[in-house]
Structure 1
Amino acid sequence: MAVGNIFLATGLRAILLICFGSELNNTYIYGRDLFCDGTMINSTQGCTVLRGNYYAQEKSESFKEAKNMIEAGGSVESVLEGAESGIEKLVKNNTAGMENSFGIKDASLSEQIPIGIPREGWDTGHSTLHPLGLGSNSTFLNKLRKTGWTFSRAFSIYWGSNWNSRPIEGHVVMGGYDKNRIIEPNVTAPLKYGDYSKSDGCFTGIGIVISDITVNFTDGSNKSIFPNKDKLHACLAPQRPSLLEPPREYLDKFEEVTGTKHNGNTSTGFHWGAWIYDRKQSFNGDMTFHLESGLKIRIPNTQYMPPHVYHDEDGSRIMDTSARELAMPETPNGVPMLGRYFLTSAYLMVNHDVGTYTLWESNQNTSIWKNDLVMVKDKEIAAQCPDNATKPAETPTVSTTEVIPESTTTMEQTESGSAVASPATIGGSVVGGVIGAAIIGLAAAWFTRRRKAAASDAPVEIGASSAGGEYDDRKVMPPVYEAYGSRPEPDAEMMGSRPLPEAEMVGSQPLPTEMPGNLIYELDNNTAGSGTMFGSPTVVGSPNEHFENRSDSDRDSILRRGKQ
């Protein structure tokens, strides 16, 4: 079904860009005050690009302000050691309300979603986009389950791969996982929330014990970078732009074992705090994580030693291929964290209904990738539809069997010819076809499948290419996509030369024109930047005047390109 069927209450097909908030229960959308970290970007245009545009509350006909997030139907937020340090500020200083501008043509779903609009700077720049809360009491996951578009409050994520000549698209599935993207055996363990310093707690609940980390040399030999024999307790936070954020001694051991030395600089760009290496002096081998459960996850070199990437003032990214970054910045607060690049080779599913997470090695053989979605049932549904479900483990266990009852997606045709999920297998639709996209409508762009950009959209080299042509020095921003579905009415243009009397989401990036019936939100990786960026990049020049002084048409062009 074409995503042109998604609409907002005002009739505008506008969206924002959004990232995971694995420790948050609520969703927060930045308004006109974007509160960017001045050490990362210091311009209105650049900040707008990094945040993924903004939400114009005053132009929304459907936003209903509330006294606080709880009154709006939101959940209580927990502030745990290791989480984003400004969450407490976020909770205390936001405009809470309910947004009812989500729906699908000819579908009954039109639900009020509680959102908060930050009124004070709170994040430290690690995750610059609007956070979609997927925590233990996620209002978003709760809404999907309550409305019947999933059979559980579960989600899964595979990040895909970046920085190489053959990038792989990642995806997010709500209500289940994709059987073709995993390799058995798996490990299932309880979600344990708490301060890191207390009983090995974890602010995301996804605590992982690492028994060893080895670097894999190109001659086939392997060496450990553990400074001692102690195990490393880490928290997995998919939104973090890193592979691992370890204590300093692990970084020193890495250089000792690999015989490398960083050039004394650290990144202030996309991989904040990462050590920078001259390309010819950087390590070129892979890295393998040995988990206490017995699972081994091997990370390709390109996924943790990418080119040096930083932000220009116009929001575009500059890629310096003469240097490499070790995407393992020193942990700033003593809590080792596994980030998104761990999920370039691992596949994660979180099931809040039973309080567990499951890890697999991800299947990199894209030739056999045909969506084989498996639904996850909560206890109520499982009791009504008994099968051979296994109980969640109290301690990590390794299994070669399915961790939840399996059901493939089936679709029925309505009289009108549109596909809807069969009531008996609605959970297998893993968010109920495109209906889930409607719920996300406010912020679906970061997750949804991207249209492959045309060859003409490829970036133009502005510097010397690296040996072998693996990377190019280039300045890039994402491409401009045509509006999906039918074009908006003349009075609904987005930040063009005509006025925007009713626009509630400004400068949004339109969705691609097609998406599968089963709602798999795909993380893009076809840019020179991170997996959170749109399609193949387009080169843009630096602005020669301030963003706010540009014409409406210029701002329209820039914002429709912009995202992180």
Structure 2
Amino acid sequence: MEPSTLTAHGSLAVLLILPAYLAILTQAACAPYPVPIRLGNVSLSNGQVARGLELAVGEPEQNFAFIPQSGQNGTLLYGTNGVCTLRGSDKWSKNGCTSFRGGSYDSLASKTSKTTSHGATPEDDGWPVINPVVDTMKLNSNLTLDNLAMGIALSDWDTQGYYAMMGLGLGSNSTILRVLKESGKIASRTWSLFWGRGFGMSSQLDGHLIYGGYDRAKVSGKRYTQPLTPNIAQCKSQLVVTVTDLIMNFDNGTDVSIFPSKSSAISTCINPTLPVMMRMPLDPYFYNFLDYTDNTIENMTRSLGYHYWNMKYLLNQKPYDGALTITLSSGLKIRVDRDNLVLPHVLLDEQTGEMLVNATEKDLLIDSMQDVNKNDMAQLGWQFLSAAYLQVNHDTSEFSLWQANPTWSQDIVALDSGNNDLTDFCSSQSIEGNKTVNGGGDVGGSGEGSGNDSSASTSSPGLSRGAISGIAVGGAAVVALIIGAVVWFLKRKKSRAPSIPSPGMGQNTSWLPGPPGQDLPPKTPPTCELDNGDTPTFRRYEMAG
């Protein structure tokens, strides 16, 4: 065969193989679309609302409000009993207890509820004794976990009003993170959290939890990343930061530090479960805060409402009307505005389950650590995450913080195992609708589940199931094309017929996958109109229409 003919045949083979090869590379580089979960007001079975992560359990669906538990790994439910003992169990009605717990799970009403062994749930230190159960959990409109092992609390957690609601574990061994990663639904064991604007604030804004990515629209300025800090007894979340300054920003433009010296620093734990902005030592920090506002600790009391054990102003005291800037050793400065720091007193009615807002009483969302708690580790709670945006990557053992940008807009991106942004999403995430993934629950102790997909996939880190399928299909196509080219070449050689130019081949490369269109749909925030007067005035808190 003439060299020119051989070259032509080789070029044709390359043209045949190249499109399939490019398709493989494109599919392998794509990322599964992250899994966003709405954080906001959730309608409960008692007709009332609770604020938390909106998740549905069972079939038919039972809607609940969960609180993120960054130091735990499992999923904690409260059943029809509710075990409400705060301030005496005799004070709680069934409706009141349902709101307090974020819902009331009825396993008998769920057609998909099954028994399981205790070994199917992770051992979470500090959680109450549980009854293990397996059921479905709908994360959002696109993804449902089938056969997920959870625990129904059989007793109170003995944490008073600090940790009241159902809990969703986000720790380094989180069941849900593992299932989503191994099934190829997320590219990394990453989650991000923004609290939004909740009860008592002048306006409402949904927050979110996002598995496998974060929302770029909700962050502002530089990203600050540092390692997780394990094995700290008072910080199970491993989110340890160093506060190097606390500056009071008065309305008249005056800025005053409450730190005793520039060399001072407070080792602080970020705990998204706590209903506070910050727990800080009374001496000297909160003493200084009170001095600059012409107040004393004797003139303040404690909130026993929604923002449990925060400081509460007496009626004759003028609340602080400025902001607070928190400076971290990383250089990040988080400004907490007044409406994130001083809020109307919010109270849960123990009989009706309604959230009531008292506009004439004010809570200062600082928990002064004193007496037996004076040596505790300082903490930043969920209200801090209204002003800051948090992202955790358990694959890299790192976490990142930004100043939050409170907006209804969204720009969700995925993160790989190296903590790199990924914006090219696999097509299957946007066209397949709701998918079911096996949650890996050990049903009846047998280890058999009823899910459609296996949670024990051995997919490579960062590759989705769609990417692996694309590689397999593309690889088979390449092999077939090579075989076809060889057979064609041999036949041409045998016949020794003159070369015939092959027809041109076109490849449409204009398609680009896009994200699904029904993630975190914007909702009109309800306006919280506050009464002003001398007499305490209560109002009902209603869901947004």
TM-score (ref. length: structure 1)? 0.65
Residues 410-449 of structure 1: per-residue CA shift (max 9 Å, x gap): 65698x88599993599x9999887xx9xxxxxxxxxx65
Consecutive unaligned residues of structure 2, counting only runs of 5 or more, are 1-37, 39-54, 436-463, 470-511
CA contact 2:306–2:348 (8 Å) conserved in 1: yes
2:333 maps to 1:290: no
Residues 212-237 of structure 1: per-residue CA shift (max 9 Å, x gap): 10100112111111245421011101
2:288 maps to 1:253: yes
Residues 77-123 of structure 1: per-residue CA shift (max 9 Å, x gap): 3x4xxxxxx43xx2xx2111322465999x89653111011111114
Residues 157-192 of structure 1: per-residue CA shift (max 9 Å, x gap): 111234443443322211101112212311111111
Letter aligned with residue 228 of structure 2: L
2:79 maps to 1:37: no
Aligned residue runs from structure 1 range 320-469, under 5 A:
320-331=358-369, 332=373, 334-364=376-406, 366=407, 370-378=409-417, 404-409=420-425, 411=427, 423-424=466-467, 451-452=523-524, 464-465=531-532
Aligned residue runs from structure 1 range 30-429, under 5 A:
30-39=78-87, 42-44=91-93, 45-68=95-118, 71-72=119-120, 74-77=121-124, 79=125, 86-87=126-127, 90=128, 93-100=129-136, 111-124=146-159, 125-162=161-198, 163-196=200-233, 202-228=235-261, 229-249=263-283, 250-261=285-296, 263-278=299-314, 281-313=318-350, 314-331=352-369, 332=373, 334-364=376-406, 366=407, 370-378=409-417, 404-409=420-425, 411=427, 423-424=466-467
Letter aligned with residue 404 of structure 1: N
Residue in structure 2 matched with residue 384 of structure 1 by the alignment: none
* CA distance, structure 1, for counterparts of residue 143 and residue 359 of structure 2: 50
Q: 1:224 to 1:304 in 2, by over 3 A?
A: same
* CA distance, structure 2, for counterparts of residue 360 and residue 251 of structure 1: 25
Q: 1:419 to 1:142 in 2, by over 3 A?
A: closer
Q: 1:474 to 1:34 in 2, by over 3 A?
A: same
Residues 286-328 of structure 1: per-residue CA shift (max 9 Å, x gap): 0000100110000001111111222222222332222211111
Residues 377-399 of structure 1: per-residue CA shift (max 9 Å, x gap): 126xxxxxxxxxxxxxxxxxxxx
Q: Which protein shows a greater Rg?
A: 2
Q: 1:411 to 1:246 in 2, by over 3 A?
A: same
* CA distance, structure 2, for counterparts of residue 306 and residue 216 of structure 1: 17
Residues 241-276 of structure 1: per-residue CA shift (max 9 Å, x gap): 110011222221210122234633211111222222
CA contact 1:160–1:343 (8 Å) conserved in 2: yes
Letter aligned with residue 466 of structure 2: P
* CA distance, structure 2, for counterparts of residue 49 and residue 348 of structure 1: 27
Letter aligned with residue 54 of structure 1: S
TM-score (ref. length: structure 2)? 0.67
CA contact 2:356–2:541 (8 Å) conserved in 1: no
RMSD: 3.7
- For residue 27 of structure 1, the aligned residue among 46, 50, 75 is 75
Secondary structure of the 1:29 match is strand
Residues 35-85 of structure 1: per-residue CA shift (max 9 Å, x gap): 2233288212211111122112234333332331xx22x3233x4xxxxxx
* CA distance, structure 2, for counterparts of residue 103 and residue 309 of structure 1: 28
Secondary structure of the 1:265 match is strand
Residue in structure 2 matched with residue 475 of structure 1 by the alignment: 539
Per the TM alignment, residue 459 of structure 1 is displaced from its structure 2 partner at its CA by: 7.5
CA contact 1:208–1:234 (8 Å) conserved in 2: yes
CA contact 2:202–2:528 (8 Å) conserved in 1: no
Per the TM alignment, residue 284 of structure 1 is displaced from its structure 2 partner at its CA by: 0.4
Aligned length: 409
Secondary structure of the 1:330 match is strand
Secondary structure of the 2:100 match is helix
Structure (1 or 2) with the greater strand fraction: 2
Q: 1:319 to 1:264 in 2, by over 3 A?
A: same
Q: 1:104 to 1:304 in 2, by over 3 A?
A: closer
* CA distance, structure 2, for counterparts of residue 303 and residue 431 of structure 1: 33
Letter aligned with residue 144 of structure 1: L
Consecutive unaligned residues of structure 1, counting only runs of 5 or more, are 80-85, 380-402, 438-447, 480-534, 537-564
